[in-house]
Chains A and B, each alone.
Chain A
């Protein structure tokens, strides 16, 4: 059955509600692709359980309440709490001996021989956001949002504005938006001095960080089955952009073993750009979603992200949606695995693997279902992520325990991946996530 959609302000209610729900969503769906919903409330609750092998654990309950009004206006309010515990890599290189690291807060953690050094941490983050959608006539809508979040060593206050215009008989939607964040960083134990020995006393006080984002998006109904979108955005960050808890190993030029470490130091400005292409195609039964993003910034990071999903209805009450995501990035210009002791220090240096030659592969699926006689929808998603660095240089060398060192017994850390020389250490990170959702209109 085909239906004709009346070009009334109410025709974009559902999408506007969705836009309010996810703040400033670019590339919004053209009005022609929207359906009417009655005014009312909607409650969305989500629980995230996130776990890294031998590292961080996160439990994050979230709730969002949205109100759709008859005149096309929409209001949304979101709350989230993150409880984070576990350990994070320090950036230091593995050594052949047991290492004990004491964090700025005095929390000690022990790293076994040949393992990536980590520091223990725990944090609790609370976040609240509010969004408002305002139709401006029949072809234009504006949405605005604001958020605040607070954690032990970081606070963020920000907002955004987005305007969408329907064009060409509502087959095209042009979106322009922008956002601004004013954040504060107050590291536990004080701010580390960049490229100074990690034992150097830390400085008290807050550090400011500002984030400005602008974007332009265009989406188009290409055919009865195909929706296409393109978005370009630029983000400008200024202020304190260094990770106050990361270090860089100093490597002995002769033995190639890490012998000391200094705090990392990053530039105080960063300009990020990206372009995103999105496609939604409706086959006879299934719907195929595909996104590709190319990202680049003035730190030298380039990345490619491919994300694909297929939604398949199992029955009128249930569906399944497999998901694959592949990610690859090049390292920042100042990324190093380690610095050579005795050599002049560079202006900037970081061994944070998130600025390195990183790869991420994600596989998972969402299962959604309705309980007969109940209006709400349940969703359950399980995903597996594997994340690893490529191209570790030969400076990442450790002695085989119990052999006493020497060229003939050292081995590349990277070589351990394939189990050579006894293997035993896995440099990639295994990550599992479970997401439980429940959405109900009332």
Chain B
């Protein structure tokens, strides 16, 4: 239950923080850049997910597919 609350709080914070700011369409020039993404190089993320999944005890974060490798 505590974990679910933590997740809910994070998501609410994500909603609430921007609530005090307005970004007009004509102010979205920088956001239009393909580099303004959480994952600017998807092929690197795919490789890194594979490496760290096989070398560490944690997983998760960005993808929902999971698993797919007998390396861990």
Q: Find the A residue at minimum CB distance from B32.
A: A35
B38 x A289 contact (CB < 8 A): yes
CB of A64 within 8 Å of the partner chain: yes
Knowing A172-B18, A360-B56, say if A218 contacts B11 (CB, 8 Å).
yes
List chain A residues, Cβ under 8 A from B39. Answer: 18, 22, 25
A215: Cβ under 8 A from any B Cβ: yes
Q: Do residues B14 and A219 form an inter-chain contact, with CB atoms below 8 A?
A: yes
B65 contacts A179, C-beta separation under 8 Å: yes
Q: Which residues of A contact B69 (CB under 8 A)?
A: 125, 149, 151, 154, 156
Q: Are B21 and A21 in contact (CB under 8 A)?
A: no
Segment 1-33 of B: residues with Cβ below 8 Å from A: 3, 6-7, 10-11, 13-15, 17-18, 21, 23, 25-33
- A272 lies within 8 A of chain B by Cβ: yes
Q: Which of A25, A214, A224, A277 contacts B63 (CB 8 A)?
A: A25
Inter-chain contact B65/A34, CB cutoff 8 Å: no
Pairwise interchain contact B56-A435, C-beta atoms closer than 8 A? no
Q: List 25 A-B contacts (CB under 8 A).
A: A4-B25, A18-B37, A18-B42, A22-B39, A22-B45, A32-B31, A33-B37, A60-B50, A151-B69, A156-B67, A158-B66, A160-B65, A181-B68, A211-B67, A213-B65, A224-B29, A230-B14, A232-B11, A273-B60, A274-B59, A291-B61, A305-B61, A311-B40, A327-B52, A329-B57
Nearest CB of A to B54, in Å? 8
Main secondary structure of the interface of A (DSSP, over half): strand
The smallest C-beta distance from B10 to any residue of chain A, in angstroms, reads: 4
Q: Decide: A229 and B14 in contact? CB cutoff 8 A.
A: yes
Do A295 and B28 contact each other (CB < 8 Å), given the known contacts A29-B38, A224-B23?
no
Does B64 lie within 8 Å of A230, measured CB to CB? Answer: no
Are A277 and B10 in contact, CB atoms less than 8 angstroms apart?
yes
Pick out which of these stretches binds chain B: A44-52, A96-104, A407-415.
A44-52
Q: Are A381 and B44 in contact (CB under 8 A)?
A: yes
A150's closest neighbor in chain B, by CB? Answer: B70
Asked whether A390 is an interface residue with its Cβ less than 8 Å from the other chain, the reply is no
Which chain A residues lie closer than 8 Å to B56 at the CB level?
A: 303, 327, 329, 354, 358, 360
Whether A275 is near chain B, meaning CB under 8 Å from some CB there, is: yes
The answer to whether B70 touches A235 (Cβ under 8 A) is no
On whether the beta carbons of B36 and A274 are closer than 8 Å, the reply is: no
CA distance A342 to B58 in the complex (A): 33
Query: Which chain B residues have a beta carbon within 8 Å of chain A's beta carbons?
Result: 3, 6-7, 10-11, 13-15, 17-18, 21, 23, 25-47, 50-52, 55-70, 72
Contacts of A216 in B (CB 8 A): 7, 11
Q: Which of A249-276 contact B (CB under 8 A)?
A: 272-276
Determine the chain A residues whose CB is within 8 A of the CB of B64 once the complex forms.
23-24, 26, 160, 162, 177-179, 213-215, 233
A218 to B10, CA, bound (A): 9
Residues of A within 8 A of B31 (CB): 29, 32-34, 221, 224, 227
Is A38's beta carbon under 8 Å from chain B? no
Given known contacts A2-B29, A34-B31, A178-B64, what 16 new A-B pairs fall within 8 Å (CB)? Answer: A4-B25, A50-B51, A211-B66, A229-B38, A232-B10, A233-B61, A272-B59, A273-B3, A274-B59, A301-B58, A311-B40, A327-B56, A327-B58, A354-B57, A437-B43, A437-B44
Instruction: Tell me whether A314 is interfacial, beta carbon within 8 Å.
Output: no
Q: Which of B7, B34, B63, B70 contacts A35 (CB 8 A)?
A: B34
Q: How far does the Cβ of A25 sit from chain B's closest Cβ, in whole Å?
A: 6
Of all chain A residues, the one with the shortest Cβ separation from B25 is: A4
With a CB–CB cut-off of 8 A, which chain B residues contact A280? 36-38
Which residues on the B side are within 8 Å of A215 (C-beta)?
64
Question: Does A220 count as interface, using CB distance less than 8 angstroms?
Answer: yes
A240 to chain B, nearest CB (A): 11
Residues of B within 8 A of A33 (CB): 28, 31-32, 36-37
Kindly provide the distance from the CB of B56 to the nearest chain A CB, expressed in whole angstroms.
Answer: 6
Q: A216-B11, A225-B30 in contact; A276/B68 too (CB < 8 A)?
A: no
* In the complex, chain B residues whose CB is within 8 Å of the CB of A329: 56-58
Q: What separation, in Å, do the CA atoms of A211 and B70 have in the docked complex?
A: 13
Q: Using A218-B15, A358-B56 as known contacts, say yes or no to A154 and B70 having CB atoms under 8 A apart.
A: yes
Verify if A341 is at the interface (C-beta below 8 Å from B): no
Closest residue to B46 on the A side, CB-wise?
A22
